[in-house]
């Protein structure tokens, strides 16, 4: 039964990541919306399965509609790892929650900025790249421009993803139905 629950949560998580990324790209919103399912898996199953969910979501998006997603799969590893650890260590509750979200967003931002600046010269399929290029043309170094935009967009994106995942879990009473003690998923 545990294996079946894990497979269902991962599958739903991948679908949420892909649909969220597609909506963000189609509407040209400056957030990525590609980690809602990763956060859902992190909250229900812990870091291990959140990381799997995130990478598979990136690969699926890359195959279906956004080839840039392939290159950002490592950022999903970071998102899944930190979200799973921080949630289960109670860093995403109460007064600590904003700091916890930043602790998820900052490593992701750094990795994303290195990928965006190093591989793509600041331009990707995300509409947030426009802001990075504007900052660069205003005189900031490209890496600094991309990093600044990534920090703002990644932290906001992770906050939105967290609240959506938490809402889905609470409204559907999924923790009781589908939650597995995260340390049990390491076996």
Provide, rounded to the nearest whole percent, the portion of the chain with pLDDT above 70.
Answer: 93
pLDDT digits (tens, 9 = 90+) for 57-95: 999 999 999 999 999 999 999 999 999 999 999 999 999
Q: How far apart are CA 37 and CA 17, in angstroms?
A: 5
Which pLDDT does position 178 carry in this prediction? 63
Q: How far is CA 35 from CA 72, 134, 142, in A?
A: 11, 26, 25
Q: Counting beta carbons within 10 angstroms of the beta carbon of residue 167, is it exposed (0 to 12), middle (13 to 18) or buried (19 or more)?
A: exposed
pLDDT digits (tens, 9 = 90+) for 143-178: 888 889 999 999 999 999 999 999 998 888 777 776
């Amino acid at each position: 039964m545990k294996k079946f629950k894990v497979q269902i949560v991962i599958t739903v998580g991948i679908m949420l990541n892909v649909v969220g990324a597609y909506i963000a790209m189609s509407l040209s919103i400056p957030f990525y919306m590609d980690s809602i399912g990763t956060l859902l898996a992190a909250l229900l199953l812990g870091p291990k399965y959140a990381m799997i969910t995130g990478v598979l979501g990136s690969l699926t998006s890359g195959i279906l509609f956004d080839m840039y997603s392939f290159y950002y799969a490592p950022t999903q590893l970071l998102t899944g790892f930190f979200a799973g650890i921080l949630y289960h260590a109670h860093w995403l509750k109460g007064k600590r929650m904003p700091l916890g979200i930043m602790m998820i967003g900052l490593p992701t931002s750094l990795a994303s900025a290195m990928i965006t600046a190093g591989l793509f010269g600041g331009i990707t399929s995300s509409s947030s790249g426009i802001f990075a290029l504007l900052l660069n043309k205003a005189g900031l170094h490209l890496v600094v421009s991309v990093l600044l935009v990534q920090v703002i967009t990644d932290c906001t994106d992770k906050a939105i993803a967290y609240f959506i995942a938490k809402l889905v879990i609470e409204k559907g009473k999924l923790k009781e139905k589908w939650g597995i003690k995260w340390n049990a998923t390491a076996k």
